[in-house]
Amino acid sequence: MRSSVRILLDLQHTPGAAITATEISVLQQLGLPARVVRDLLDEVHMFDDDRTPAIVGWLDTRVDHLPDQMRSEIGVWFDIMHAGSTTAPRRRPRDQVTIRLYARWFLPTLTRWAATGTTSLRTITRDDVIVALAVEGINRHGTGLALRSLFGVLKARRLVFVNPTARISTGADTDKPKTPADLALIDAALNDPNSARAAVAALAIYHGLNTGQLRNIRLIDLYDRRLHIGTRTIPLAAPVHGRIDAYLADRARRWPRAINPHLFIHFRNHQRLEPVGGRWMKTTVDYPGGVNALRRDRILHEAEATGGDTRRLCDLFGLSITAASKFTDTVNHPDLDN
């Protein structure tokens, strides 16, 4: 590691400047570890990623059949979603997973519009959107969200005259049912001999953590039998603390020289600084609907136990009032009556 960093510093034209990914690629030619060095430099804010993001090529291949003007409009949306905007209306960059998901949702609709002779999204009307959302077999909720994002950006940049998705209901998100989970499956996850699965399940089941929060827990976030996430301090339930202790013992035995600061690691990233991916989290918990299904069940149980106390849900799980109300609405729902 030290020799790799020394080589990069010797090759620098401007001492003290950030080191680019192109410069780090020299290490691969010398048979030295490049990814670990890149992670380290990124951690201390000395890494300049000058590579072309993979998502750029991914999107280009999926819009090349669309008219030029439509591709240009999608490009504006992508640039704002990917890099954000510091000019009004300001926007924060979105995760690449979100961008891919939105693109997958709206591209079939844009392809159908292009097939009927549409060359620019400026000509799309409210009626066009309503018809598009009524097409059989599409994810109405997802397509509606994606089109709203697309036209929202274009309207803010004055590339369309009106936002044709305004005040159009996209329906409920049917992928997130608010119904009780299977207790047998929950018990199996909590008592699994795989300590990683038991620890992940316990944190989701007892404390309602979501996938992103679980992935990004660091070892330093756990002390005094409490978990610290942002401004929240969560006293760990005894069953959760025991399962985390068991996992940490396995972690130390399997990877005694791990440098990864995150709680959950695996054999590929224990010598890196990056968190585990969503795919690892999904396959590890091995539960229908994944971690977020366990989280939803925990919040639903709290809503039932407190008689629909919205403030309690907000405080316990970091929810907004709108998000909490979706769970409190299930209290005394006829489908949940015995």
Structure confidence by residue, pLDDT tens digits, 233-263: 999 999 999 999 999 999 999 999 999 999 9
Is residue 97 pLDDT above 90, yes or no? no
Q: Flag whether 116 is in a domain.
A: yes
Assigned domain for 146 exists: yes
Q: Are residues 193 and 281 in the same domain?
A: yes
* Contact call for residues 76 and 154 (beta carbons, < 8 A): yes
For residues 40 and 138, membership in a common domain is answered with: no
- The pLDDT of residue 49 is 78
CA separation for the pair 15, 36 (Å, rounded) = 21
Alpha carbon separation from 146 to 4, 129, 328 (Å, rounded) = 44, 12, 27
pLDDT at 43 over 80: no
195 plus 278 within the same structural domain: yes
Whether residue 189 is found in the same domain as residue 265: yes
Same domain, 206 and 293: yes
The answer to whether position 118 is within a domain reads yes
Instruction: Kindly report, residue by residue over 258-307, the tens digit of the pLDDT.
Output: 999 999 999 988 988 889 998 999 999 999 888 988 998 899 888 888 88
Q: Give the range of the structural domain holding residue 192, as residue numbers without chain letter.
A: 183-298
Do 78 and 30 share a structural domain? no
The domain tally of the chain equals: 3
Q: What gap in Å lies between CA 115 and CA 134, rounded to an integer?
A: 18
Among residues 191, 158, 15, the alpha carbon closest in space to that of 87 is found at 158
Residue 80: pLDDT band (50, 70, 90) is very high
| Residue 178 belongs to a domain | no
Mean pLDDT of 97-105: 93
13 and 101 in a single domain? The answer is: no
Instruction: For residue 324, tell me if it sits in a domain.
Output: no
Q: Of 298, 313, 330, which closes a domain?
A: 298
The pTM for the full model equals: 0.65
Residue at 15 is within a domain:
yes
Domain membership flag for residue 166:
no
- Would 251 be classed as within a structural domain? yes
Q: Same domain, yes or no, for 252 and 229?
A: yes
